Structure 1
Amino acid sequence: MRFPRVTAIVSSLLLAAGATLASAATSHAAAPTGYVALGDSYSSGVGSGSYDSASGDCKRSSKAYPVLWKNAHSPSSFNFDACSGARTGDVLANQLGHLSASTGLVTISIGGNDAGFADVMTTCVLQSTDTCVAKVNTARAYVQNTLPAALDNVYNQIRAKAPAAKVVVLGYPRFYQLNGTCIAGLAEAERSAINGAADLLDTTISARAASHGFSFGDVRTTFAGHEICSGDAWLHSVDWLNIGESYHPKPAGQSGGYLPALTKYAP
Structure 2
Amino acid sequence: MQAANSRRRCGRLAGAVAVVVLLVGLGTGPAQATTTKPADVYVALGDSYAAGTGGSSPAPGSLPGCHQSLDSYAALLGGLNLGCFGATSLAVKAGLDNLSPADPVAIALGSATEVSVTVGGNDVGTGAVAVACTSADALACASAVQGVANALPALPGNIVAMVQSIRQKAPHADIVLTGYPRLFTVGPTMPTAEKQLATTLNGLADQLNATIAGAASAAGVGYVSVTERFTGHGIGSNNPWIHYTQPSPLDPPELALENFHPTDAGYSQGYRTAVNSGLKK
Q: Does 1:63 align with 2:71?
A: yes
CA contact (8 A) 1:140 1:200 kept: no
Larger Rg: 1
Counterpart of 2:200 (choices 193, 205, 218) is 193
Alpha-carbon distance between aligned partners in 1 of 2:245 and 2:161, rounded to the nearest angstrom: 33
Q: Tell me the secondary structure at the aligned position of residue 123 of structure 2.
A: coil
Alpha-carbon distance between aligned partners in 1 of 2:227 and 2:121, rounded to the nearest angstrom: 15
Q: Does 1:105 align with 2:117?
A: no
Question: What amino acid is the match of 1:115?
Answer: V
CA contact (8 A) 1:45 1:63 kept: yes
Q: CA deviation at 1:87?
A: 1.2
Alignment size in residue pairs: 233
Q: Following superposition of structure 1 onto structure 2, how do residues 1-267 of structure 1 map, counting pairs within 5 Å?
A: 28=36, 31=38, 33-55=40-62, 56-70=64-78, 78-94=79-95, 97-98=105-106, 100-129=109-138, 131-143=140-152, 145-179=153-187, 187-240=194-247, 241=251, 242-266=255-279, 267=281
Q: TM-score, normalised by structure 1?
A: 0.80
Alpha-carbon distance between aligned partners in 2 of 1:107 and 1:90, rounded to the nearest angstrom: 16
Question: What amino acid is the match of 1:191?
Answer: A
Alpha-carbon distance between aligned partners in 1 of 2:75 and 2:265, rounded to the nearest angstrom: 14
Question: What amino acid is the match of 2:88?
Answer: R
Alpha-carbon distance between aligned partners in 2 of 1:224 and 1:42, rounded to the nearest angstrom: 17
Percent same amino acid at aligned positions? 32
Alpha-carbon distance between aligned partners in 1 of 2:69 and 2:190, rounded to the nearest angstrom: 29
Alpha-carbon distance between aligned partners in 1 of 2:206 and 2:74, rounded to the nearest angstrom: 23
- CA shift in 2, pair 1:27/1:103, >3 Å: farther
- CA shift in 2, pair 1:141/1:32, >3 Å: farther
Q: Tell me the secondary structure at the aligned position of residue 48 of structure 1.
A: coil
Q: Which runs of 5+ in 2 are unaligned?
A: 1-32, 100-104
Alpha-carbon distance between aligned partners in 1 of 2:171 and 2:211, rounded to the nearest angstrom: 23
Q: CA deviation at 1:134?
A: 4.0
The CA RMSD over aligned residues, in Å, is: 2.2
Question: What amino acid is the match of 1:102?
Answer: S
Alpha-carbon distance between aligned partners in 2 of 1:205 and 1:238, rounded to the nearest angstrom: 28
Question: What amino acid is the match of 1:194?
Answer: L
Q: CA deviation at 1:62?
A: 0.6
